[in-house]
Amino acid sequence: MSQDIVTHCPYCALQCGMTLRRTADLVQVLPRNFPTNRGGLCQKGWTAAELLDHPDRLTTPLLRDRPGGTLRPASWPEALDRVVTGIRRIQSAYGRDAVAVFGGGGLTNEKAYALGKFARVALGTRNIDYNGRFCMSSAAAAGMRAFGVDRGLPFPLADLGTADTLLLVGANVAETMPPLVRYLVEQRERGGTLIVVDPRATATARQATLHLQPTPGTDLAVANALLHIALAEGLVDKDYVAARTSGFDQVRRVTAGYWPARAERLSGVPVADLEAAARALGTADRAIILTARGAEQHAKGVDTVTAFVNLALALGLPGRPGSGYGCLTGQGNGQGGREHGQKADQLPGYRRIDDPAARAHVAGVWGVDPTLLPGPGVSAYELLDALGTDGGPKGLLVFGSNPVVSAPRAGRVTDRLRDLDLLVVADFVRSETAEIADVVLPTAQWAEEDGTMTNLEGRVLRRRALRPPPPGVRTDLALLADLAERLEHVDGTTLDRSRFPAAPEQVFAELRQASAGGTADYAGITWARIDAEDGVFWPCPDEAGPGTPRLFADGFPTPDGRARFLPVEHRPPAEEVCPDYPVYLTTGRVLAQYQSGAQTRRVDALRRAAPNAFVELHPDLAARLGVEDGDEVLVTSRRGEMRAPARLTPTIRPDTVFAPFHWAGAARINSVTSDALDPVSRMPEFKVCAVQVRKAPVDERHEGTS
């Protein structure tokens, strides 16, 4: 006897549809014909069920009795008492902001919403942010200031296959979102032009009609040059610019300084390639520009994305059928996770926490006095870097994240986590962050709880439970309800458990109320509608009205209804190469692993496919360093060191090395990466820093490739 449910993959923001089949012996993944993936799955999706009954699965709380001691099994009452006692002690001594919360872009909408509410109502702390700050916060900020809204793709994914010209900037979808490649194949078979901007000749770039291979950190100069060429060759849509935008004249003046020869000197991209790209975009009936982490994870990420938005607006793409600008969201619920309260400056519905009207609306839904809600907190890295310091948080609750591996300057962040009086981690495996926690709380996995996710298109989807969690394991919603029941409300009264429901559908109903009237309005979305319509696109303010698959057809949600051009100038990365650190480092993902690797490194098939980290070098650079393929190399920056085998390839620039960020220990590349922050989004500069590369001494022991 078998049981089937239709659900979605637990990994990236494609949220591919799948069917889970449960028999007496196992859980099997079957393909499903859903609009985003049309039956396709990547290697991670096919093996997703293997973690459900993995030997590393946590099924009981763990406690550390003393600093430096080992984690031991404990009962739930003992674990929750330890957490609540620690929170009360810290807040009594240092104030409510002394306890912080760090969330994740993989949490369901319901959990993201409940976590933000818990932080502000049960803890009364302003200190909450999440790992999505490391994902697409730069594109989100650029979208908000240009369009008045942040939705990764303001059009359905299928539009990619119909584009005459498609420009991908810093996106290696062949490895990060393999089922999306079918749209690139469709586009190519229709005779379309694919342009990829990337310092590496990735699997995606190798499929391109034209590959622009800039020096890391120079994408903004490339974008301004493309707009310069479009202006010079009369490719700008003057009618669109006049009718639907503002601020173009100032952008025109700035881009006048980015003539192709100068842009070639800045970026290394040949003039002929810049001209070919501009013409392919400017002469297409349907053109789409997409940015991803390669353009965004910089200390000027917002300005870089803005430069490509300027290009899209000048060509009249946003809101035009079959055309537009979009961002490829990375994490599974990177879109929904930032819409409903995990970000330091936001309330549900993508409302600003410092907006009095927003505070009044959400406080009314929560049944609290709006004056008691805390104000904005600091961004993810700033929060992590302040942990345990004078004036910084002394306690941290982590849900759905592994900052020991994923944060920039990770050695420093790890030290900060160790300095805490209380570190609590809720997870289903012993991640590297859980290993140093004082309390570890076992939580349910994706196939053991109901909820909703919002994919990269802004399509709200249903995730369904195939089975209950194992004995001894609780859902995150139940855990938050348990903790809230033991804590006092921000006004000093006792919290009734009903204020923090553990039933996902009940939480979603409250989320709908809280988001009503906001930028990300879910008020008209119900679970029944999602089931009937293959998901519902927000904004959807009315149950009787449709969702919004395509934005901007009739205008932009700005005060004057116009999109805004903003002038931006290229500037070098925060850290340039020099004699001591003469090589650029850039980082990214590989096909068989995901994010910090805490899940995928435990799946046998994925571990076999990508067993360890590596450092990718051009053969010319390797020859200068005396390095052969497979030799272990040390990559050193001003912040730390990483060690892994060399992988020689001509697909990378000779002045650049690449390493994936999925591994811990000695192979942790985020020991090396820069903590320079974008001034607007507070995105760290993961994608470029200056390093020294040398062959590792053979007598040094190599650890940390697990």
250 and 226 share one domain: yes
CATH code (residue 473): 3.40.50.740
- Counting the structural domains of the chain, the total is 4
Q: Write down which residue in 515, 539, 557 finishes a domain.
A: 515
469 and 338 share one domain: yes
Please check whether residue 213 lies inside any domain of the structure: yes
587 and 638 share one domain: yes
The Cα–Cα gap between 10 and 598 comes to 13
Q: In 444-598, which ranges are E strands?
A: 451-454, 459-463, 536-537, 563-564, 583-588
Q: What's the pLDDT score for residue 705?
A: 38
The Cα–Cα gap between 235 and 622 comes to 43
Please check whether residue 701 lies inside any domain of the structure: no
416 and 502 share one domain: yes
Taking phi over 0 as left and psi of -120 to 50 as alpha, with beta for the rest, 479 belongs to alpha
151: CB partners within 8 A, 6+ apart:
143, 335, 458, 520, 538, 551
The Cα–Cα gap between 198 and 268 comes to 12
> What single DSSP character describes residue 402?
-
Please check whether residue 560 lies inside any domain of the structure: no
Supply angle C-alpha 525, 117, 514, rounded to 5.
30
Please check whether residue 92 lies inside any domain of the structure: yes
Please check whether residue 225 lies inside any domain of the structure: yes
Distances (CA, A) of 517 to 13, 338, 511, 687: 25, 17, 12, 36
Distances (CA, A) of 176 to 45, 171, 510: 12, 8, 33
Please check whether residue 525 lies inside any domain of the structure: no
Please check whether residue 469 lies inside any domain of the structure: yes
359 and 496 share one domain: yes
Q: Write down which residue in 302, 328, 354 finishes a domain.
A: 328
The Cα–Cα gap between 320 and 324 comes to 7
322 and 240 share one domain: yes
249 and 267 share one domain: yes
**What average pLDDT values come out for the chain (706 residues) when binned by 10 residues?**
91 96 91 94 96 96 93 98 97 97 97 97 96 93 97 96 98 96 96 98 97 98 98 98 98 98 98 98 98 96 98 98 94 92 95 97 95 96 97 97 98 97 98 98 97 97 96 97 82 66 96 97 97 96 96 96 98 97 97 96 97 98 97 98 98 97 98 98 97 88 43
Note whether 322 and 165 are within 8 A (CB). no
CATH code (residue 280): 3.40.228.10
Please check whether residue 56 lies inside any domain of the structure: no
CATH code (residue 40): 2.20.25.90
Q: What's the pLDDT score for residue 25?
A: 82
The Cα–Cα gap between 193 and 458 comes to 26
The Cα–Cα gap between 678 and 295 comes to 12
Q: Write down which residue in 289, 310, 328 finishes a domain.
A: 328
Note whether 305 and 180 are within 8 A (CB). no
pTM for this prediction: 0.96
269 and 294 share one domain: yes
Range of the domain at 690: 583-695
404 and 445 share one domain: yes
479 and 356 share one domain: yes
The Cα–Cα gap between 256 and 558 comes to 27
The Cα–Cα gap between 668 and 635 comes to 10
265 and 142 share one domain: yes
212 and 127 share one domain: no
CATH code (residue 646): 2.40.40.20
Q: What are phi and psi of 277, to 5 degrees?
A: -65, -45
